Structure 1
Amino acid sequence: MSITRLEYLFQLCINNDATPEQREEMLELMALPENESIAEKLLHKAYEAPKQTEDLDSEKSDAILNAIYNADKIESAPRLFPRRKQFVKWAAAAAAVFVFFFSAAYFFIYKKQQEQLIAVANKNKIIPGRNKATLTLADGSKIDLDDAKTGGIAKQAQLRVTKTAAGQLIYTIANTDKTLSETTDKPSYNTIETPVGGQYQVILSDGTRVWLNAASSLKYPTQFATGERQVELTGEGYFEVTKNKAKPFKVITDRQEIEVLGTHFNVNAYTDENAITTTLLEGSVKIAAHLKNQLAQQSIILKPGQQSILGCAGLAVGNVNTEDVVAWKNGYFSFNEDFESIMRRLSRWYNIDVVYKIDKDPDLSFGGKISRSKSINSVLNIIEATGNVHFKIEGRRIIVTK
């Protein structure tokens, strides 16, 4: 039966035959999470069976005893032991095992305690969001994309689902004998959901790219049937739709439907926002809004650089800086809005709770740009520098004061 590198080095240390480099390597291996089980067994075995080292020669045993005495600086220590040769050999062996066992056990336990303390600290540490999401397949099974290895993660009908290291989910044709347009079967749907503090990118079977912001979801067919391409969005998403005049692309949100042939646009449909906004960067889109308490629909067509705002009173259209709108997709915040809207965006990205200890002021607003990879402290410091508000951090709570 073969032994592991850790077992080999451990035995060298027990026998006092290890070099300083080998001792250091052994302790590093012992501290690795995957070696936790074997490390515990080795320490227990050494504790239960110190007699394995009784065959030390007299030269080694004398050296060990002298090292222990000198380290403790107890000149009279040798007089405490009888000068019988056999006893000295046993005492040195036992001392060697005890000293090594104690130091290794201390190192091992200390490491575990440190890891536990770090885990607790990280739980409450406010860090920027990152690529993480959950994929729900047509059969209801779920895949945590944060834990899944890169490469193929699922196969559905003619399609292969692949995860990349860059935070992309890609749908490609697995069966080269057929094309996706040939399918007449009832479509099966997948759903990708990003949590608070997450983002992800999906490349659909037709080549359309979708970027999902934090706390968002996209429901879509694994392959588009003939006639149309339709997806459902909650939260915020940026779309680069592959052109196909024969198959219009539709995005369904809570209160509106967006129809395009091939274009680039952003949709913000968070339920905690006062309005749904659709911003066009390239091409053209048709928006049909379902007005509350009204049977009729309101429709408009956007031009590049325009943004529709669907509020309680209906649809309105205005010109905007599109670069600011899609800044989140490009890795930074671009603030030019009221204070509460900014705090809602920070709450989604940093997974924080905001508590207001001041009267809310709808006229209070801020402007500026900052990377989304910056710490929450950096972002709050910039806002705080205006002198209008102050922040206090308690765990994952941000308390707003004057």
Structure 2
Amino acid sequence: MKKNLEKNVHKNRKCDFLKILTANNRMKQEFLAYSLEQLLEEKSFIAWVLHHENEIEWERFLGANSGFRPKVNKAREIILFLREKYDVLDEDSVLEVWKNIDKYDQQYKQKVRNLNFRRRFSWAASILILISMGTFGYLYLNERNNGYQFVSPDSPKAGDARMVLSTGEEIALKKDNSTITLNDVADQVTVNDSIIDLKEKTGTGQQTVSMNEVVIPYGKKSELLLADGTKVWLNAGSRLAFPSRFTDDTREVYLEGEACFQVTRNEKHPFIVKAGNLDVKVLGTHFNVSAYSNDETIETVLLEGSVIVSKPKTFGLGKTDVVLTPRQKASFFKESSKLNVANEPHADLFIAWTYGWLEYYRESLLSVLQKVERYYNVEIHLPDNYPGGDRISGKLDLKDSLEAVMVVLSDASGFEFRISGDKVLIEKKMKELPMQK
């Protein structure tokens, strides 16, 4: 009898979610008692997360029930995770995948009792994939890091600029703009004016070519000449992993942050930049990639030649490929896994930083300030509700002092500021400026 009653209660909760949102207070209170699993089984909830259906109603409801928002955020995170990993876009598919994972997880509840929910969910998903797809499970386990894990600390914001050899030894880059040159014939690397013999570091006769890393914190830059002749400019707050010499069919490097590439052409050995979940494949060309971990998008801007921007699908079974032509920009939105391409008539602005300039055209003030933070290694604080979306255009000389740069931005955006140590405090907006066309 008790089981039948429980089934009936659960069945009643399966009523249309929108009716619950607009029903009387008693029904709303019943909805607020939903568990995370029950919330993930509501198609209308999934439709709101994936397609923003009934957005106003949802925001109004959550605004009145702020204590329920953490559970909603957790369920939303899981649904977006499923869409990213399984490439499903409809409510039924997300629901079916979740049910299968949850069913398997319940059978092995004892084995994962001491794990937190996120680890438990990831473990169950991995096991389900192994069962249903066999050997493709291995690809899933390696997908997040795209085959490589940086050995340097997670954040390149602080510390000194340095090169980390494949042996783990670190070499300080003492200049604000260091130059690194690889010589695969002599098996040497030149850092500024110092020559390093890689044979002595790695051992003579070593067959495996391991990755080296360059880590550039905020406030610094670096230039690299790779073994194949490719030139790379690394921006502040970035790191790049690369081999001492290229020996495979493809020339692969791994990027976090921003870099400008001028690739030596080699049709037999394509050059591939792996930036998060995105691959940029070229034969020989000039382009810029911005892939900071705390940015919402990964952007690729092409200046010369052509590139193929690829977003890997689930388990590496095929890719979404987009070919860029000169003066086009590909934007990959991390949260939605969308890849958009648009013409970019001001493509040159995206590489102005390699010449010591920050140029911007109708860019949001917040975006420009974020770049200034990286270039000058400072924190910029705005008052609450400050209109950071104001669009501005201009050019900053990054050789100028921080104060001089802030004065230019102050004149353009109409704010007052003061500098205290490594912090810039924007205090108030002095005037309303006409909107730029």
1:353 aligns with 2:379: yes
Cα pair distance change 1:395/1:208, threshold 3 Å? same
Cα pair distance change 1:239/1:185, threshold 3 Å? same
1:143 aligns with 2:165: no
Post-superposition Cα deviations, 1:141-160, rounded to whole Å, max 9, x if no partner, equal 00002179x99999989411
Contact 2:163-2:173 within 8 A present in 1 as well:
yes
Question: What TM-score, normalized to structure 2?
Answer: 0.54
Q: Which amino acid aligns with 1:379?
A: V
Cα pair distance change 1:170/1:200, threshold 3 Å? farther
2:350 to 325, 334, 337: 325
Post-superposition Cα deviations, 1:168-202, rounded to whole Å, max 9, x if no partner, equal x999999xxxxxxxx99321211011111010001
Cα pair distance change 1:333/1:154, threshold 3 Å? closer
Per the alignment, residue 185 of structure 1 pairs with 207
Contact 1:338-1:362 within 8 A present in 2 as well:
yes
CA drift at 1:365: 2.0
1:251 aligns with 2:277: no
Contact 1:202-1:209 within 8 A present in 2 as well:
yes
Cα pair distance change 1:280/1:171, threshold 3 Å? farther
Separation of aligned partners in 2, 1:276 and 1:151? 26
Contact 2:179-2:223 within 8 A present in 1 as well:
no
Per the alignment, residue 234 of structure 2 pairs with 212
1:163 to 191, 197, 201: 191
Per the alignment, residue 391 of structure 2 pairs with 365
1:276 aligns with 2:298: yes
1:338 aligns with 2:360: no
Separation of aligned partners in 2, 1:325 and 1:381? 22
**Residue 244 of structure 1: SS of its match in structure 2?**
coil
Per the alignment, residue 6 of structure 1 pairs with none
Post-superposition Cα deviations, 1:111-160, rounded to whole Å, max 9, x if no partner, equal xxxxxxxxxxxxxxxxxxxxx73001111000002179x99999989411
Cα pair distance change 1:290/1:339, threshold 3 Å? farther
**Residue 354 of structure 2: SS of its match in structure 1?**
coil
Contact 1:347-1:354 within 8 A present in 2 as well:
yes
Q: Which amino acid aligns with 2:234?
A: L
Q: How does 1:2-401 map to 2 (within 5 A)?
A: 133-146=161-174, 158-164=186-192, 185-290=207-312, 297-311=319-333, 312-313=335-336, 314-320=338-344, 321-336=346-361, 337-386=363-412, 388-401=414-427
Separation of aligned partners in 1, 2:179 and 2:236? 24
Unaligned runs of 5+ in 1: 1-131, 175-182
Contact 2:179-2:224 within 8 A present in 1 as well:
no
**Residue 327 of structure 1: SS of its match in structure 2?**
helix
Q: Which amino acid aligns with 1:280?
A: L
Contact 2:240-2:256 within 8 A present in 1 as well:
yes
Q: Give the structure, 1 or 2, with the largest relative contact order (CA under 8 Å, sep 6 or more).
A: 1
Separation of aligned partners in 1, 2:317 and 2:261? 29
Contact 1:184-1:225 within 8 A present in 2 as well:
no
Count of residue correspondences: 261
Q: Which amino acid aligns with 2:291?
A: A
Separation of aligned partners in 2, 1:278 and 1:233? 12
Post-superposition Cα deviations, 1:209-229, rounded to whole Å, max 9, x if no partner, equal 000000101100111113110
Per the alignment, residue 75 of structure 1 pairs with none
Cα pair distance change 1:365/1:401, threshold 3 Å? farther
Post-superposition Cα deviations, 1:336-369, rounded to whole Å, max 9, x if no partner, equal 2111111110111101011222414353121101
Post-superposition Cα deviations, 1:355-397, rounded to whole Å, max 9, x if no partner, equal 2224143531211012110111111111211353221111111
Q: Which amino acid aligns with 2:350?
A: V
CA drift at 1:286: 0.4
Cα pair distance change 1:290/1:399, threshold 3 Å? farther
Once superposed, which parts of structure 1, at least 4 consecutive aligned residues long, lie more than 6 Å away? 150-157, 169-174, 291-296
Question: What TM-score, normalized to structure 1?
Answer: 0.59
Per the alignment, residue 59 of structure 2 pairs with none
Per the alignment, residue 146 of structure 2 pairs with none
Who wins on radius of gyration, i.e. which is larger? 1
Separation of aligned partners in 2, 1:251 and 1:238? 11
Post-superposition Cα deviations, 1:74-132, rounded to whole Å, max 9, x if no partner, equal xxxxxxxxxxxxxxxxxxxxxxxxxxxxxxxxxxxxxxxxxxxxxxxxxxxxxxxxxx7
Cα pair distance change 1:171/1:212, threshold 3 Å? farther
Unaligned runs of 5+ in 2: 1-159, 200-204, 429-437
Separation of aligned partners in 1, 2:181 and 2:303? 33
